[in-house]
Structure 1
Amino acid sequence: MTAEIRQAIIDNALSEGFAQVGFCRPDGVPDIAERLATYVGNGWHGDMGWMAERMHWRGNPAALWPEARTVIMLAEPYTPSHDPMEVIGQPDRAAISVYAQNRDYHDIVKKRLKRVGRWMIEGFGGEIKVFVDTAPVMEKPLAAAAGLGWQGKHTNLLSRELGSWFFLGAIFTTLDLPIDLPARENCGSCTACLEACPTDAFPAPFQLDARRCISYLTIEHKGPVDEPLRSQLGNRIYGCDDCLAACPWNKFAAEASEMRYAARADLIAPRLAELAGFDDAGFRAHFSGSPIKRIGLSRFLRNVLYAIGNSGDPALLSHAQAHTEHEDAVVSDAARWAVTKLSSSA
């Protein structure tokens, strides 16, 4: 009977828009605590104190909800229809990570998970909890344990069927369901993702030092970026797709079916001059419903000003000068740095 329930859950999840479904035990990644302890012990988590503070749960999914018997991992593609690396060659424009070029995936995926979860409870009983990157859950190792893919040398999840452009969601349930075999690593001798990183953020294959990762620096890091790294950010103002885009497995990437992930035309390659002119109200209005809004105007302007400094375009000098006396010291520092860079290249 449990096999029939499992298949019914898969069928329902696919009908809701998920592309893949896998099952594992909450304790299906026995080395996760050790891996996390090494990561935090090396200081690679940077300012992400919440990672260290909640290591007990993050390192042991079974402790997060002891009653859970099965973890259902679900994948949803957001594969871009355009070349995400094209904007890197346009220094007067901003590069925004593909996943943030439209609606916030947290809201979309979580609503889908809740619909699947409610359907499960109505049909088969039990209890559920759903998670989308907002709780101490290590989604990538659990997804690998559930057979959805493997963590590549860039530490992101890869799939034979989906490539690298997909979101993950988790349903913890008290139902005891048959599980999948873990996925096997299929990177072979390829190092394309490691070589593509602009800041050399990988100490070794399968290891990431977030303190050098552009996604971390532009999104999670609150203070000024170390000066040696600023020039390496290029025009990336929110996240970075270089290691994902470089992966050869993307030739198998599944097409995104959710239209709310399709890039807004004004976020594929927006002009830095326009972004530098936002006030708080304009910023919030422009990025309403977008994950970009969560970093706030000051951090956003800091990133834009670093990109302006890296542009080498004297026409952008006045846009940097406009922020040299900004009330936020991090923003004014970024503006002065950009002015110096542009003045020296003029």
Structure 2
Amino acid sequence: MNSTSSLPTIHVHQHDPEAVKAWIKTQALQLGFSDCVIARPDAQAELPRLKEYLKRGYHADMNYLAENLEKRANPTLLVPNTKSIICVRMNYLVEPPKARTIPNLPNSGIIARYARGRDYHKVMRGRLKILATKIKEKFGDFESRPFADSAPIFEKSLAENAGMGWTGKHTLLIHKKSGSFFVLGELFTSLDLPFDSPTTKHCGSCTACLDICPTQAIVEPYMLDARKCIAYLTIEYKGIIPEEFRKSIGNRIFGCDDCQLICPWNSFAKKTDIEDFYPRHDLDHLTLVELWKWNEVDFLAKTEGSPIRRTGYQSFKRNIAIGLGNAPYSIDILNLLETTRDAHDHIVQVHIDWAIQQQQQKKS
């Protein structure tokens, strides 16, 4: 946030506030954002749900979620002088999925669709900065700060309260005409813009996402237990994955899309026009065996600028080992696991041993 107090403030009332808002939204769409809404800097209503979530321990070891609660609820404490928040979203699907279908590719390494291309955080922040520059060139200087899942912000709540969609029972934001395969970003501003209004919820009696979850991590509508969630276990968690979840993880080696793939609203999911989201290094087609053969140099080279870097090399191998254990029996897989076991740390070795055992059981 620019802290220079001498900066002139844009007095939107000197223009037509609604016209200014419409102009900003047009610029956002031209920059590749799929939608743009103006949110009130207030997320107090979300605080009780988070406190209950924390009380139940559903945040696992993500202790940062229990920090800065006041700032999460009141964005003006995070960025002083914030008067409005420009919320945007970006579609990331390269190819819309077949409606309500979970791909059956047991020998493939399945990576969540958002993570197959460039790290969206970088794409999002870069375009938000450009949007801020365009607004300044048009109306004069003002204070702004871009975010993309990078600060204590109730970003879904802010976007929802401004009508970008509604929170589904799987806890993700859903847009009536675009589904849920999109990522969110925010531009905190000192602009006095008119706020947009919330939309209505449209999940009804549907429980498809709860029913399909491989580990039953969606313990009730709108409440997800991260300790069971495949996305958490394969990305955030760095330890030994509990054996009770390994078979359910299947061949998902980074994240999980099942609750979105099964959602009826994703029959309206839109294809992205942003090339940064296109898969790199064939990450949408590689087999588990091909991925297992990556050494650390390969991993670092092929995940440069990718969200996959977040999990780290050893945890990535841990996840692939689980996938190999769940794959159909193959003497090649068994030999590969046995001959490479000692090349990894203790945590990975635990999962290799499990995978070898699974393969041997299938053989017999």
TM-score, normalised by the number of residues in structure 2: 0.91
Q: Which amino acid aligns with 1:161?
A: K
Q: C-alpha separation between the residues in 2 aligned to 1:9 and 1:155?
A: 28
Match of 1:115 among 121, 125, 130: 130
Does the alignment pair 1:281 with 2:297? Answer: yes
**For residue 4 of structure 2, what is the aligned residue in structure 1?**
none
Cα offsets for 1:92-113 (capped at 9, x unmatched): 2111111111111111111110
Q: C-alpha separation between the residues in 1 aligned to 2:200 and 2:339?
A: 52
Larger Rg: 2
Mark the CA change 1:87 to 1:102 in structure 2 (over 3 Å): closer, same or farther: farther
In the TM superposition, residue 333 of structure 1 has moved relative to its aligned partner by 0.8
Q: C-alpha separation between the residues in 1 aligned to 2:280 and 2:266?
A: 22
In the TM superposition, residue 164 of structure 1 has moved relative to its aligned partner by 1.0
In the TM superposition, residue 251 of structure 1 has moved relative to its aligned partner by 2.1
Q: Is the 8 A contact 1:73 1:169 kept in 2?
A: yes
Cα offsets for 1:37-75 (capped at 9, x unmatched): 111111111121111133332233232113101011101
In the TM superposition, residue 214 of structure 1 has moved relative to its aligned partner by 0.6
In the TM superposition, residue 149 of structure 1 has moved relative to its aligned partner by 0.3
Cα offsets for 1:156-204 (capped at 9, x unmatched): 0000121111111101101110011112111111111111111101111
Q: C-alpha separation between the residues in 1 aligned to 2:238 and 2:353?
A: 18
Cα offsets for 1:14-56 (capped at 9, x unmatched): 11111111111111x3221211111111111112111113333
Mark the CA change 1:142 to 1:82 in structure 2 (over 3 Å): closer, same or farther: closer
Match of 1:67 among 81, 98, 103: 81
Does the alignment pair 1:17 with 2:29? Answer: no
Does the alignment pair 1:93 with 2:108? Answer: yes
Q: C-alpha separation between the residues in 1 aligned to 2:339 and 2:147?
A: 42
Match of 2:234 among 215, 218, 239: 218
Q: Is the 8 A contact 1:93 1:271 kept in 2?
A: yes
Q: Which amino acid aligns with 1:99?
A: Y
Q: Is the 8 A contact 1:306 1:334 kept in 2?
A: yes
Q: C-alpha separation between the residues in 2 aligned to 1:201 and 1:325?
A: 33
**For residue 230 of structure 1, what is the aligned residue in structure 2?**
246
**For residue 67 of structure 2, what is the aligned residue in structure 1?**
53
Q: Is the 8 A contact 1:21 1:74 kept in 2?
A: yes
**For residue 335 of structure 2, what is the aligned residue in structure 1?**
318
Does the alignment pair 1:37 with 2:37? Answer: no
5+ residue gaps, structure 1:
none
Q: Is the 8 A contact 1:32 1:60 kept in 2?
A: no
Alpha-carbon RMSD: 1.7
Mark the CA change 1:328 to 1:58 in structure 2 (over 3 Å): closer, same or farther: farther
**For residue 187 of structure 1, what is the aligned residue in structure 2?**
203
5+ residue gaps, structure 2:
1-15
Does the alignment pair 1:290 with 2:309? Answer: no
Match of 2:41 among 12, 17, 26: 26
Q: Is the 8 A contact 2:101 2:261 kept in 1?
A: no
Q: C-alpha separation between the residues in 1 aligned to 2:129 and 2:103?
A: 37
More divergent stretch after superposition (157-166 vs 234-243): 157-166
Q: Is the 8 A contact 1:26 1:61 kept in 2?
A: yes
Q: C-alpha separation between the residues in 2 aligned to 1:265 and 1:193?
A: 30
Q: Is the 8 A contact 1:323 1:331 kept in 2?
A: no
Q: Which amino acid aligns with 1:134?
A: S
Q: C-alpha separation between the residues in 2 aligned to 1:86 and 1:189?
A: 20
In the TM superposition, residue 231 of structure 1 has moved relative to its aligned partner by 0.9
